[in-house]
Amino acid sequence: MAESSRIEEIEARFNSIIEEYGKFLRQAIIQVCPKDLGLQFNDIEQEARVRLWRALQNEREIQDPASYLYKIAVTTTLDAIRRVKTRREDQLLSVGEQDEGVDPRQATMIDPAQTPEQAARRQQLLRKVKAALARLPENRRRALGLYLAGMTTQEIAELLGWTEPKARNLVYRGLKDLRAQLKAEGIDYEID
């Protein structure tokens, strides 16, 4: 009896949160979810709702439902993205392992459209870039690494607790150092 009334209470809370924030949950998932991975928004949304239900069932105190749903939306989507990527990568790895003498990690990176010469040149270029990066001072290397990995200077600043001009300055100086070092290696790198 007490159990059924508890479930009813959870259901009421669940419905109330979904009533108010359901649209935002879905919209958050749609915004976070990459479109090119073949992920189903409905599946992710369903999984996110299950997580919310479990949180309520475990009597977790949800003081700020919006933030909580944001968190659920992001973590559920990231988990789904990782599952898909892992599956693809594992398939590639299993193919790579069948081919004796090929490093599975390298096998996932080699573009089949490249000629052996292009691939070799690319590997050489990579080695030089990595060596040049390794020689940079700590802060420049960190800022430049994040920049090259795809972050904006604003995002770098927020992550590292710097001001945006400081992040921008360090990225710029890092790029300049990198350019000088690559030029010494015979690579003409143009800073935009």
Partner 1 sequence: MKLTSDELKSLYQEETSRSALRRNECLTAEEMMRAATGKLSAAERERVTDHLPRCSDCTQEFRLAHELKPWAESVAEPGRSAPAMRLFAAGSQTGFNSQPGARQHWSAIFMRNFGFGLPIAVLFISLALGLWSISWRRERGRSTDGLKEQLKKQNETITRNNELLAEAQRQADEANRRAEQYQRQVVELNRAIEKLSQAPSTISGEMNVPPPLVPGEPNVPIVDLEPDNVSRGSGDTMARVKLPAGNHLFILILHVDGRPSYPGFSLEVLDARGQRIWKAQEPRQNQDNTFTVALSRRAFPAGQYEIELRGLRAGKSELIGDYKLRIDY
Angstrom distance (rounded) from CA 88 to CA 112: 16
Instruction: For residue 65, give every residue at least 6 positions away whose Cβ sits within 8 Å of its Cβ, in sequence order, or none.
Output: 17, 20, 21
Pattern 57-76, binding to partner 1, x per CB under 8 A? -------x-xx--xx-xxxx
Amino acid at 127: R
Least distance to partner 1, CB of residue 87, Å: 11
- Which part of the chain contacts partner 1 (CB under 8 A), choosing from 112-120, 163-171, 180-188? 180-188
85 contacts partner 1 (rule: CB under 8 A):
yes
C-alpha gyration radius of the chain? 24
CA 108, 114, 116, 120 dihedral sign is negative
- x/- string (CB under 8 A) for partner 1, residues 130-169? x----------xx-xxx-xxxx---x--xxxx--------
Q: Print the binding letters for residues 4-23 with partner 1: x by CB under 8 A, - otherwise.
A: -----------x-----x-x
Least CB distance from residue 143 to partner 1, whole Å?
9
Q: Which long-range contacts (CB under 8 A, 24 or more apart) does 1-6 make?
A: none
The number of residues that bind partner 1 (CB under 8 A) is 66
Of 17, 44, 48, 49, which one interacts with partner 1 (CB under 8 A)? 49
Task: Choose, by CB under 8 A, the member of 40, 46, 98, 114 that binds partner 1.
Answer: 46
Quickly tell me which residue has 């439902």 as its tokens: 65
Within 106-125, the residues that bind partner 1 by CB under 8 A are 108-109, 121-122, 125
186 belongs to the binding site for partner 1 (CB under 8 A): yes
- Which one, of 39, 50, 24, lies nearest residue 77 by Cα? 39
Q: Residue 99 CB, nearest distance to partner 1 (Å)?
A: 16
Query: How far is the C-alpha of 160 from the C-alpha of 143, rounded, in Å?
Result: 9
* CB atoms closer than 10 angstroms to residue 23: 10
